[in-house]
Homo-oligomer: A and B are copies of this chain.
Amino acid sequence: MWLQREIVLPAQRRGFHLITDIIECELPELQDINVGVMHLFITHTSASLTLNENADFTVRSDMEKHFNVLVPEDAPYYEHTYEGSDDMPAHIKSTIIGVNHTIPITNGRLNMGIWQGIYLCEHRDSGGQRTIVVTINGE
């Protein structure tokens, strides 16, 4: 069985945001799959997806703070600057974190750890809507 759907997320402020519930809500067919995988792909170059802790919001705000240290704005060697100070760092963060992830499906549910959630990582100050292509394959 193959299923593919595009989910358009409303604009989010810069930072790391839990979207597990949105993904699961938009894919009720998950419950019909005994064994398979769900593939997530964000179709942008200045946002990314990751899986991390789903309980304490300070994990997400600390992550935003540390990625801003790892990939600072206005580094003197950046040449790609015409879209703003947040643009080139957004591209680099997107490549570090990644735009695609695959999660196992087991007995009709995403087989993640109890503390794992899916994050949308918005790296632009005003990134606008973001589109995720979700592909499910299983039986």
Chain A interface residues toward B at CB < 8 A: 2-4, 35-37, 39, 41, 43-45, 50-53, 56, 58-59, 61-63, 65-67, 69-71, 75, 77-80, 88, 91-92, 94-104, 106, 111-113, 115-116, 119, 131, 133, 135, 137-139
Alpha-carbon gap, A52 to B21, bound state (A): 27
> CB distance B62 to A77 under 8 Å?
yes
Tell whether, in the assembled complex, residue B139 and residue A39 are in contact, meaning their CB atoms are under 8 Å apart. Answer: no
Contact B51 A45 (CB under 8 A): yes
If the complex has contacts A66-B75, A79-B61, are A135 and B45 also in contact, measured as CB distance less than 8 A? no
Inside 8 A of A36's CB, which chain B residues have their CB? 2, 135, 137
Nearest-CB residue, chain B, relative to A98: B98
Apart from A2-B36, A35-B135, A58-B79: 12 A-B pairs, beta carbons within 8 A: A41-B112, A43-B112, A43-B116, A59-B88, A59-B91, A62-B88, A63-B95, A65-B78, A66-B78, A99-B116, A104-B133, A104-B135
Q: How far is the CA of A35 from the CA of B3 in the complex (A)?
A: 8
Q: Which residues of B contact A62 (CB under 8 A)?
A: 77-80, 88, 91-92
A113 x B80 contact (CB < 8 A): no
